[in-house]
A and B are shown apart, each in its own frame.
Chain A
């Protein structure tokens, strides 16, 4: 199974700052990585597909990059509604797997 390692586990930031969240795959997966946001007691929401492709309705401050084994979710000018947990997920092979998540918290 492909293991996804997200870092850091927790990131403390202030509104208006910009951040980068990392997701590293245990083997090369091309661009078969997708990013989700999950707020407390809600379902996950798809933010980015195939490493860098935008999703309709998602604010433009969310962007993704990377290929192979290293991927990044970038959030520019963080807003209060962005404080939540972010997960990466791979679709290169079955079983699909998720990273353990990065919690973005208010500094």
Chain B
């Protein structure tokens, strides 16, 4: 089954403790991206990747890092999480930039 898989689905952690949210897709998609969703602000793009080793900032990249060492994986790294990064995060992928995007089920992060 074609899918985008995120882990963990839920995480409660503390300020400053590094964490990684993994994202994997099995559709051989070139384009992958991360969004965060906050009440009243909608979904906003954090980072995106057009292919292996090619990443770029989205609209709200501060406090986040990403890497794309393999085509299928696009982890989101919070080196020193802060409470303002408490949010619902979605990973998405598409065959190419501009194509229909498939979203994961989301990761709900709470930073205390």
Asked if A pairs with B, the answer is no
